[in-house]
């Protein structure tokens, strides 16, 4: 019998009521009295010297309040980078300044040059066209390998190179890895591209800046996954506003997928301009503008080699990756191809020797940063593709080759610096074989063949490091911030509970799932628990939501704070029951004395805490409110196995996903319905990457797929119903809920399953020359591969 409330119940989401009735409050729904609107003048060329910016005509246009340029931001900091990578030679990465408005040069199409603030948005747009911009165009730096070749034009002349860093991991292992390759029975090599993606949360970014001359307080309303991080970065590093004079509010946020982690220029601009103009200033991003101003994701070019012995045991892995940083370092960009990618190269397998080399490259493109999965999809894709290729080359079954190399004993320390605490990769694979009905594949393939379609099966595994992150470890790895999480649990006098969390929900359903945890711990109905998030003014300093961290880190902070509350409440209950504190038990919202029928209701204890007439004032203070900060001791390691079946139309190259199955081990589950939904969404994004999505620049640095007219988003008819299962559970050993996190799994595990399936379909049809296809597997690309001679 499934539970109907608390941990493990598929409680319906309370937030849905407001979203379903049009009562959500997103940033663009906020309109402040007297607000003005900003339109940015953005570079239309990828690379050039700014010779002059003439604002005089624009300044005189109807409704215009002021036109801002880089000159207004002299003395203001650049947008900071939150991670510093040290390269294989012991040198720190190159870190050029990222000004709020372009200063001296423009470095990508969309780079903001000037900002026009006017009474209405259309007036601002009208005047933005009147800003005279003179640019001496320079050749665009687009191709990464050309960018780091001698004599390349430089994106940033002041750093003298387009190479941000050349990272080796683990550098000390390099010679041993090379030796293993020299001695290997078989080496499989694969060169591939992990295609550049535009995150495309359905809500475009919005920022509203406000300033009170009465209090000297700034307020920024913004579409953010982590308002405290924005407050710290923007306040301390850009505008020089102390935290106590800066409030950042991220109300309902319409999806993030990583793209709303980062601190963006527009946020700093509206905050700055609101004070300068003594009026609230609002920026609403147009979708076509978001394509050239939101951080993009992925964009790796990789060569991976896998060394095997004669039986197929993995001996060593060696990779070389070029990772696009874009024109400037976005907030967490340097960490994505390094610590979120190199550390996962062991996958689910025992490979004794691994060496990862990553060259991060500046180009005249939009900055690239974390997008759902962030580094882990790139690691998984190359690993699971090269394993498939190796199986084919060695005449082995791809599932059996994987099983042969599975890690089976835990904890397991990989050669790439992480320790997997728990897992059972055979169990998730067994479950996958069952729910995907792999036994029936040949029959289904025969049915497809009758229709003239080529059916293929792709299977792969994945592992990810989530629950980001142990602060001391990531500090050693270059993080400039701690990555704990916080929660305040406030119990009201009549027994209701309010949890103020540093996590941020932008689709994940925290208001429901976090309440389920509190309900379970105390034994009160879920509707007695309220979850507050998204406002620095009423939540403790927290790091926000990304990296599948909310329940694992934020949930743990909440459990810790609730534990303190319960401990104190037990003291009060002991006093009321005239019993020893050690004998007090809390169950179903009632404190009782063990072995007796004496009890007191939760509400009576909470009332006593605020009306302390009969109260142990000599032992505890009145009130019932506790705050906790939780810093994880390790990452969590969700893992699983995915299977995809496709049909390829050989005449058109069109790929249809016939079925998709996912088995995930997320450890313990709070709300299975929400977990299913997270996996579904990740799978669709993975299918999008594999079949549809591609941010493509031409050699001049123009984004060819700059709107939904050319950037193909997955639609309802591009995907099937998915079969998902998370019954294989090896709970996390080091957090109180035993949870691992589920937000990114689908986006990580899916792309290789799709590509493996398409390659399988073509191989089975006799197209032996097709050993790999780069994503997205568009009809034209698949057709060209089939017909390549």
Partner 1 sequence: MYAFDFVRPSSVADAVAALGQEDAQALGGGQTLIPALKQRLASPSTLVSLAGIAEIRGVCLDDDGRVCIGGGTPHAVVAAEAAKHYPALAAMANRIGDPAVRNRGTIGGSLANNDPSACYPAAVLASNATILTNAREIAADDYFQGMFTTALDEGEIITEVRFPVPQAANYQKFVQPASRFALTGVFVARFADGVRVAVTGAAEDGVFRWAEAEAALSDSFAAEAVKGLEVAADGMISDLHGTPEYRANLVRVLTARAVAAAG
Partner 2 sequence: MTKVAMSVNGRAVSGEVEGRTLLVQFLREGLGLTGTHVGCDTAQCGACVVHVDGKALKACNVFALDFEGAEVTTIEGMAAPDGTLSPIQQAFQDHHGLQCGFCTPGMVMSAAALLAENPKPTEAEVREYLEGNLCRCTGYHNIVKAILAASGQEMAVAAE
Question: Applying CB under 8 A, which residues contact partner 2?
Answer: 12-13, 15-26, 28-29, 31, 122, 200-204, 252-255, 257, 286-288, 506-509, 673-674, 676-677, 680-685, 707-709, 713-717, 719-724, 746
Binding partner of residue 704 among partner 1, partner 2, none, CB under 5 to 8 Å per kind?
Answer: partner 1
Give the integer Cα–Cα distance in Å for 535 and 442.
55
Binding partner of residue 213 among partner 1, partner 2, none, CB under 5 to 8 Å per kind?
Answer: none
**Of residues 153 and 719, the one with the C-beta less far from partner 2:** 719
Pairing of strands 132-137, 48-54: antiparallel
Is residue 348 classed as helix, strand or coil in its secondary structure?
coil
Q: Is 38 left (phi over 0), alpha (psi -120 to 50) or beta?
A: beta
**Of residues 59 and 658, the one with the C-beta less far from partner 2:** 658
Rounded least distance, CB 377 to partner 2, Å = 16
**Of residues 3 and 708, the one with the C-beta less far from partner 1:** 708
Contacting residue, 4, 29, 129, 447, with partner 1 by CB under 8 A: 129
Determine how many CB atoms are found less than 10 A away from the CB of residue 185.
Answer: 13
Give the integer Cα–Cα distance in Å for 658 and 375.
28
- Per residue, what are the HEC states of 180-249? HHHHCCEEEEEEEEECCECCCCCCCCEEEEEEECCCCEEEEEECCCCHHHHHHHHHHHHHCCCHHHEEEE
- Per residue, what are the HEC states of 277-290? HCCCEEEECCHHHH
Q: Which two tokens stand for residue 278?
A: 């003594």
In the DSSP assignment, the letter for residue 502 is S
Rounded least distance, CB 509 to partner 2, Å = 7
Contact between 120 and partner 1 (CB under 8 A)?
no
Which candidate, 305, 353, 302, 320, places its Cα nearest to that of 179? 353
Contact between 708 and partner 1 (CB under 8 A)?
yes
Helix/strand/coil percentages in the chain, nearest 5: 30, 25, 45
Binding partner of residue 31 among partner 2, partner 1, none, CB under 5 to 8 Å per kind?
Answer: partner 2
Contact between 464 and partner 1 (CB under 8 A)?
no
Residues 386-415 that bind partner 1 (CB under 8 A): none
Contact between 122 and partner 1 (CB under 8 A)?
yes
Residues 510-569 that bind partner 1 (CB under 8 A): none
**Of residues 336 and 782, the one with the C-beta less far from partner 1:** 782
**Of residues 569 and 655, the one with the C-beta less far from partner 2:** 655
In the DSSP assignment, the letter for residue 154 is P
**Of residues 201 and 521, the one with the C-beta less far from partner 1:** 201
Contacting residue, 713, 723, 736, 765, with partner 1 by CB under 8 A: 713
Stretch that binds partner 1, among 78-86, 304-312, 706-714, 741-749 (CB under 8 A): 706-714
In DSSP terms, which residues pair with 636 in a beta bridge? 466
Rounded least distance, CB 204 to partner 2, Å = 7
Contact between 699 and partner 1 (CB under 8 A)?
no
Binding partner of residue 126 among partner 1, partner 2, none, CB under 5 to 8 Å per kind?
Answer: partner 1
Binding partner of residue 13 among partner 2, partner 1, none, CB under 5 to 8 Å per kind?
Answer: partner 2
- Give 569-602 as a DSSP string: HHHHHHHHHTS-GGGEEEETTEEEETTSS-EEEH
**Of residues 34 and 104, the one with the C-beta less far from partner 2:** 34
Stretch that binds partner 1, among 52-60, 185-193, 319-327, 686-694 (CB under 8 A): 686-694
Contacting residue, 4, 134, 434, 651, with partner 1 by CB under 8 A: 651
Binding partner of residue 263 among partner 2, partner 1, none, CB under 5 to 8 Å per kind?
Answer: none
Which candidate, 154, 79, 202, places its Cα nearest to that of 506? 202
**Of residues 671 and 694, the one with the C-beta less far from partner 1:** 694
Is residue 741 classed as helix, strand or coil in its secondary structure?
coil
Contact between 696 and partner 1 (CB under 8 A)?
yes
Q: 644 phi and psi, to 5 degrees?
A: -135, 135
Contacting residue, 580, 619, 652, 727, with partner 1 by CB under 8 A: 652
Binding mask 277-296 for partner 1 (x = CB under 8 A): ---------x-x--------
- List, in sequence order, every beta strand (DSSP E) within 309-439: 314-326, 353-362, 412-413, 419-420
Stretch that binds partner 1, among 122-130, 358-366, 584-592, 729-737 (CB under 8 A): 122-130
In the DSSP assignment, the letter for residue 33 is T
Determine how many CB atoms are found less than 10 A away from the CB of residue 302.
Answer: 25
In the DSSP assignment, the letter for residue 516 is H
Contact present, 280 and 35 (Cβ < 8 Å) = yes
Stretch that binds partner 1, among 333-341, 518-526, 657-665, 772-780 (CB under 8 A): 772-780
Q: Which two tokens stand for residue 599?
A: 């009890």
Determine how many CB atoms are found less than 10 A away from the CB of residue 65.
Answer: 21
Rounded least distance, CB 211 to partner 2, Å = 23
Q: Residue count at the site for partner 1 (CB under 8 A)?
A: 28
Task: Check whether the bond before 776 is cis (ω within 30° of 0).
Answer: yes
Rounded least distance, CB 129 to partner 2, Å = 15
Contact between 711 and partner 1 (CB under 8 A)?
yes
Task: List contacts with partner 1 (CB under 8 A).
Answer: 122, 125-126, 129, 286, 288, 651-654, 691-692, 694, 696, 704-705, 708-713, 718, 778-780, 783-784
């Amino acid at each position: 019998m499934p539970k109907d409330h608390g941990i493990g119940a598929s409680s319906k989401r309370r937030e849905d009521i407001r979203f379903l009735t049009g009562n959500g409050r997103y940033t663009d729904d906020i309109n402040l009295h007297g607000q003005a609107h900003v339109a940015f003048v953005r570079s239309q060329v990828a690379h050039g010297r700014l010779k002059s910016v003439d604002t005089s005509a624009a300044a005189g246009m109807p409704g215009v309040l002021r036109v801002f340029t880089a000159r207004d931001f002299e003395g203001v900091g650049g947008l900071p980078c939150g991670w510093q990578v040290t390269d294989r030679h012991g040198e720190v990465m190159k870190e050029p300044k990222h000004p709020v408005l372009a200063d001296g040069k423009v470095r990508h199409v969309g780079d903001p040059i000037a900002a026009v603030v006017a009474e209405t948005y259309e007036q601002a747009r009208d005047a933005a066209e009147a800003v005279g911009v003179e640019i001496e165009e320079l050749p665009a730096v687009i191709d990464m390998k050309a960018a780091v070749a001698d004599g390349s034009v430089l994106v940033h002349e002041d750093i003298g190179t387009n190479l941000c860093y050349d990272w080796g991991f683990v550098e000390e292992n390099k010679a041993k890895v090379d030796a293993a390759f020299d001695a290997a029975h078989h080496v499989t090599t694969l060169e591939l591209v992990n295609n550049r993606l535009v995150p495309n949360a359905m809500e475009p970014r919005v920022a509203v800046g406000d300033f009170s001359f009465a209090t000297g307080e700034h307020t920024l309303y913004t579409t953010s996954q982590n308002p405290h991080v924005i407050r710290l970065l923007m306040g301390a590093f850009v505008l020089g506003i102390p935290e106590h004079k800066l409030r950042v509010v991220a109300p309902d946020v319409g999806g993030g997928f990583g793209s709303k982690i980062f601190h963006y220029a527009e946020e700093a601009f509206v905050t700055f301009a609101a004070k300068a103009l003594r009026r609230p200033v609002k920026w609403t991003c147009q979708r076509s503008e978001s394509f050239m101003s939101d951080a993009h994701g992925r964009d790796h070019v990789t060569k991976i080699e896998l060394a095997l012995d004669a039986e197929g045991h993995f001996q060593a892995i060696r990779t070389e990756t070029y990772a696009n940083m874009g024109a400037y370092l976005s907030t967490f960009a340097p960490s994505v191809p390094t610590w979120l990618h190199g550390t996962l190269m062991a996958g689910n397998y025992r490979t004794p020797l691994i060496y990862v080399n990553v060259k991060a490259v500046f180009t005249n493109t939009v900055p690239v940063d974390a997008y759902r999965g962030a580094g882990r999809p790139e690691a998984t894709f190359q690993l699971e593709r090269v394993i498939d290729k190796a199986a084919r080359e060695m005449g082995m079954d791809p599932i059996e080759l994987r099983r042969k190399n599975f890690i089976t004993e835990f904890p397991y320390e990989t050669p790439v610096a992480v320790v997997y605490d728990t897992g059972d990769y055979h169990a998730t694979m067994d479950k996958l074989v069952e729910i995907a009905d792999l036994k029936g594949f040949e029959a289904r393939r025969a049915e497809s063949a009758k229709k003239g379609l080529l059916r293929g099966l792709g299977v792969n595994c994945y592992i990810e490091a989530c629950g980001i992150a142990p602060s001391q470890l990531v500090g050693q790895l270059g993080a400039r911030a701690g990555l704990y999480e916080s929660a305040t649990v406030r119990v009201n006098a009549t027994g209701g509970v309010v949890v103020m969390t540093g996590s941020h929900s932008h689709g994940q359903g925290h208001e429901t799932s976090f309440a389920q945890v509190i309900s379970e711990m105390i034994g009160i109905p879920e509707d007695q628990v309220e979850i507050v998030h998204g406002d620095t003014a009423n939540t403790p300093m927290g790091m926000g939501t990304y990296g599948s961290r909310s329940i694992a880190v934020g949930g743990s902070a909440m459990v810790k704070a609730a534990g303190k509350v319960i401990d104190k409440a037990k003291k009060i209950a002991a006093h009321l029951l005239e019993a020893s504190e050690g004998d007090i038990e809390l169950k179903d919202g009632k404190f009782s004395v063990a072995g007796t029928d004496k009890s007191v209701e939760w509400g009576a204890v909470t009332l006593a805490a605020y009306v302390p007439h009969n109260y142990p004032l000599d032992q505890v203070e009145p009130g019932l409110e506790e705050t906790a900060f939780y810093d994880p001791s390790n990452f969590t390691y969700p893992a699983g196995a995915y299977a995809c079946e496709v049909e390829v139309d050989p005449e058109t190259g069109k790929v249809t996903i016939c079925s998709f199955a996912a088995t995930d081990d997320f450890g313990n589950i709070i709300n299975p319905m929400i977990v299913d939904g997270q996996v579904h969404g990740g799978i669709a994004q993975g299918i999008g990457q594999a079949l549809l999505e591609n941010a493509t620049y031409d050699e001049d640095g123009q984004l060819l797929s700059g709107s939904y007219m050319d950037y193909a988003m997955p639609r309802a008819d591009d995907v099937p119903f998915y079969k998902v299962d998370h019954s294989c559970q090896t709970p996390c050993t080091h957090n109180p809920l035993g949870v691992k996190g589920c937000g990114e799994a689908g986006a990580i595990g899916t792309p290789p399953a799709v590509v493996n399936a398409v390659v399988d379909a073509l191989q089975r049809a006799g197209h032996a020359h097709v050993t790999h296809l780069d994503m997205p597997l568009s009809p034209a690309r698949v057709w060209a591969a089939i017909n390549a001679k």
